[in-house]
């Protein structure tokens, strides 16, 4: 079956939570389901990937054998089709940990997207490298839960990672790395304990981010909205290609001087928020052999 019809078929076959009035998302039930499954993994050390091994595997720079789909070039989906396609390939990523105040398991929540039907999922480095999680798992839009069994590769600077779960025949998105600034995009993610939120916008630019964590790596900035919990959520183009992942936000504040005679403080006013995203190329780079040093044979 050609790729474009395959994407449409899979997207149409799934009725993800939140898609319509008849399939309204029950956030509490959905997150409780994922959290319970992850806590059961962590209890009694039943996770197939323990924390120590996971943190060691995050240092892997590349992987081979990932079966990526070819990008779609001649298809334009409407908004409802785009929602179904994004939802069908997206996952909720959970990490179970214990705090110092009680004995129960708690869970971190993030987003991710399938890029290989045989269980390979793209998300952020900061999700895969979380210091606290004793067990990690993913839940698909149709409610299936899979433990994370391996970190295939990751890059801290570009904030990207590839995870593997023991699954076959998952709905995957093709990866594209040449979408230009100004192009229309959509974002699908799970912000602040709300399952399957969809927003639209454009690519505003590509830029290099500074700081010790980013070290000049190239990121894509977009106008589509997202919030905490969205980390690793897919950014797709109008053909249903994966063009990036949610990574972070950078608020732009304006210091408003206090009026004369007021308390000598200032109020920081939010002017805009930069939405920084992993690029499609950063995802693809994890599937390529590391470049040899100059002069190496």
In a domain, 259, yes or no: no
pLDDT band at 5 (very low <50, low <70, confident <90, very high): very low
pLDDT at 9 exceeding the cut of 70: no
Residue 297's pLDDT is what? Answer: 57
The CA distance from 110 to 139, in Å, is 11
The CA distance from 231 to 276, in Å, is 10
pLDDT at 127 exceeding the cut of 70: yes
The CA distance from 220 to 278, in Å, is 6
In a domain, 24, yes or no: yes
In a domain, 128, yes or no: yes
Q: What is the domain range of residue 206?
A: 3-254+271-285
64 vs 293 pLDDT, higher one: 64
Mean pLDDT of the chain, nearest integer:
89
253 vs 130 pLDDT, higher one: 130
In a domain, 217, yes or no: yes
The residue written with tokens 């602040």 in the block is 192
Mean pLDDT of 177-206: 96
Q: How many residues belong to the chain?
A: 297
Residue 252's pLDDT is what? Answer: 86
Mean pLDDT of 26-52: 94
pLDDT band at 212 (very low <50, low <70, confident <90, very high): confident
Mean pLDDT of 16-31: 93
The CA distance from 235 to 193, in Å, is 19
pLDDT digits (tens, 9 = 90+) for 153-183: 999 999 999 999 999 999 999 999 999 999 9
In a domain, 52, yes or no: yes
In a domain, 219, yes or no: yes
Mean pLDDT of 77-102: 94
Count Cβ atoms below 10 Å from residue 184 Cβ, excluding itself.
Answer: 15
Tell me the CATH number at 88. 2.40.10.120
Closest listed residue to residue 235, CA positions, set 167, 294, 162, 175: 175
The domain total for the chain is: 1
In a domain, 260, yes or no: no
In a domain, 263, yes or no: no
Of the chain, the percentage scoring pLDDT greater than 90 comes to: 78
Residue 280's pLDDT is what? Answer: 98
| 26-32-34 Cα angle (round to 5) | 105
pLDDT at 11 exceeding the cut of 50: no
pLDDT digits (tens, 9 = 90+) for 228-278: 999 999 999 999 999 999 999 998 887 755 544 444 444 467 888 999 999
Residue 278's pLDDT is what? Answer: 98
Residue 140's pLDDT is what? Answer: 95
With beta carbons less than 8 A apart as the criterion, state whether 199 and 223 touch. no
Residue 10's pLDDT is what? Answer: 42
The CA distance from 68 to 196, in Å, is 24
Please report the DSSP string for the chain in residue order: --HHHHHHHHHHH---TTSSGGG---HHHHHHHHHHHHHHHHTTT--SS-HHHHHHHTT----S---PPPPP-S----HHHHHHHHHHHEEEEEEEEE-SS-SSEEEEEEEEEEEETTTEEEE-HHHHT-SS-SEEEEEETTS-EEEEEEEEEEETTTTEEEEEES-SS-----B---PPTT-EEEEEE-GGG-SSEEEEEEEEEEEE--STTTTT-EEEEE-S---TT-TT-EEE-TTS-EEEEEEEEEEEEEEEPPPTTS-S--EEEEEEEEEEEEEHHHHHHTTSPPPPPTT--
Mean pLDDT of 182-202: 96
Mean pLDDT of 207-221: 92
């Amino acid at each position: 079956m050609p790729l474009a019809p395959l994407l449409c078929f899979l997207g149409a076959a799934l009725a993800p939570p939140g898609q319509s009035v008849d399939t309204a998302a029950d956030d509490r039930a959905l997150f409780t389901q994922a959290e319970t499954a992850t806590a059961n993994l962590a209890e009694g050390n039943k996770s197939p990937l323990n924390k120590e091994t996971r943190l060691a595997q995050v240092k892997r720079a590349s992987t081979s054998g990932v079966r990526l789909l070819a990008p779609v070039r001649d298809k334009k989906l409407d908004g409802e089709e785009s929602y179904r396609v994004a939802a069908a390939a997206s996952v909720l990523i959970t990490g179970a940990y214990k705090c110092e105040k009680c004995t129960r398991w708690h869970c971190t929540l993030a987003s991710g997207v399938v890029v290989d039907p045989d269980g390979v999922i793209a998300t952020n480095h900061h999700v895969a490298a979380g210091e606290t999680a004793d067990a990690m798992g993913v839940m698909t839009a149709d409610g299936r839960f899979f433990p994370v069994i391996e970190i295939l590769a990751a890059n801290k600077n570009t904030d990207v990672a590839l995870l593997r779960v023991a699954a076959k025949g998952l709905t995957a998105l093709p990866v594209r790395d040449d979408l230009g600034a100004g192009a229309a995009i959509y974002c699908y993610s799970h912000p602040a304990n709300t399952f399957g939120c969809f927003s639209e916008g454009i690519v505003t630019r590509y830029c290099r981010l500074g700081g010790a964590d980013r070290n000049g790596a190239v990121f894509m900035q977009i106008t589509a909205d997202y919030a905490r919990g969205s980390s690793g959520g897919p950014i797709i183009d109008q053909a249903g290609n994966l063009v990036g992942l949610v990574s972070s936000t950078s608020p732009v504040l304006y210091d408003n001087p206090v009026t004369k005679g007021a308390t000598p403080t200032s109020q920081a006013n939010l002017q805009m928020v930069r939405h920084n995203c992993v690029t499609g190329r950063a995802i693809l780079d994890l599937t390529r052999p590391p470049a040899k040093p100059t002069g190496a044979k």
